[in-house]
Amino acid sequence: MDGNGRWAKTKGLPRIAGHRVGAETLKTIVETCLDLELECLTVYAFSTENWKRPAKEIEALMELLVEYIDQELDELKQNGIKIKTIGNLSQLPLVAQLKVKKAEKETEQNQKLLLQIALNYGGRKEILDAVNRITQEVAAGRIAAGTINDSLFAQYLYTAGIPEPDLLIRTAGELRLSNFLLWQSAYTEFWFTDVFWPDFTAQHLYQAIYDYQYRQRRFGGLK
């Protein structure tokens, strides 16, 4: 969800103002995904690299996360949305950890839409964690060396059991993966826009999906 800070700068506002408007955009897009009956929406909320940002901005982002859950949890539950986070929550402030775990617990039975939130997430860290867990299993004799394949490896990722993404949308003119779902995005279709996330609308999402429908997905083979 790129471009919150730059959006705020163009309007002479503090960066956190952009993040606040970006949270409203997320609400709109989640509602649109429900209308479209999509199965899963994954949003990159905070990366392992975002800790490099100023402490005040990080603090404000964590406060916004807590505020968002407090304000939206009841509606998320009513709309059948399941919350799941991927990443290392242990480094987040305790109040944020508790709020996130509460949201996951209270929505775990919902089935209309999986809202997967990447929090303190990094694709390389995810892969390394999977490798370390698998090597422990091999050392314990629960997995035979030389038998590890794509399917088994995927079971040790944070996204185990979740379908790989069909479409990845990158806003604000960014043209790179930025350590997001590196393993899972091997054959994902990309859609780029210069629009900052706070200005991203349901119409932009419709356009992205419309364009996706005309892609030929061959997965390395021939159509």
Which member of 4, 35, 50, 70 is catalytic? 50
Query: For 187, what's the count of Cα atoms within 13 Å in the CB-facing half-sphere?
Result: 9
In the beta sheet, which residues pair with residue 169? 191
In the beta sheet, which residues pair with residue 82? 114
Nearest to 170 by CA among 186, 188, 192: 192
Residue ranges of alpha helices (H) inside 79-164 are 94-107, 123-139, 150-154
Token reading at 101: 């775990």
Quick check: helix, strand or coil at residue 78?
helix
Token reading at 142: 């629960």
Q: Is 2 a catalytic residue?
A: yes
CA distance linking residue 39 with residue 114, whole number of Å: 6
E strand or H helix that includes residue 83 = strand 81-86
Q: Is 70 a catalytic residue?
A: no
Length of the chain: 223
E strand or H helix that includes residue 42 = strand 40-47
Active site positions, annotated: 2, 50
